[in-house]
Amino acid sequence: MTDNGERDVPGKGLLDGLAVTFKTMTRRSTTQQYPDVEPDLPPRSRGVIALSEENCTVCMLCARECPDWCIYIDSHKEEVVVPGAARPRQRNVLDKFDIDFALCMYCGICIEVCPFDALHWTPEFEYAETDVLSLLHDKDRLGEWMRTVPPPPAHDVLGEPSKEEATAARKAAGPGAATAAKTARPAAVRAAPPPTAAQPVPPRPSPPADPEDTAGSSPGEPAR
């Protein structure tokens, strides 16, 4: 018996399953023959993370913001002699930058918080390993993935210029040059109606006379 109280028909389940099978057999297959045919991935696919070592300043933001704690960074300080400076400066030198992709959940927080564009998404996903320990990529292996990073999309010509382009244009124009922000007129000024001719001001009415001043005067005598 079914839930609705109807009596089961022998072999009904088998016939329903065969109907689905025959219905699927008549449709055209859309299976991609991977790995013979490479998949067409969108440009913003989240595959593996690449590292640009020369951009990394060892600020540790990516390691501190990682929710899985799968980024391991180590560095040391070196003194740099600057000509004309009173004392040598110090800079951080990257010694170790590892990402454990066995723990990574591909949230992208490390890439978003990096202030110097040292981490990038790549569409490459073919880095499976037979040993889970091999999923720990060091800085050299992360640097090799940089060749697979797609170029950034072209800037919209109708959009606002980037911060770098605006800074370069301001330096090229020199101090005191008119910029787009200075030459642009506000929308309220552009939409203001043209001035009209001045209207004549009507004369103010004179105040009424005091009844006490006019009570004792004769009709032909002016009020006192």
- Asked whether the bond before 35 is cis by omega within 30 degrees of 0, the reply is yes
Distance of CA 65 to the CA centre of its chain: 17
Write the pLDDT tens digit of every residue in 86-108.
888 888 999 999 999 999 999 99
Question: What phi and psi values does residue 78 have, to the nearest 5 degrees?
Answer: -130, 145
CA–CA distance, 146 with 160 (Å, rounded to integer) = 28
pLDDT one-digit tens code per residue, 71-86: 999 999 998 888 888 8
Answering whether pTM is above 0.75, one says no
Domain 48-148, architecture per CATH: 2-Layer Sandwich (3.30)
Domain range list for the chain: 48-148
Angstrom distance (rounded) from CA 213 to CA 224 = 6
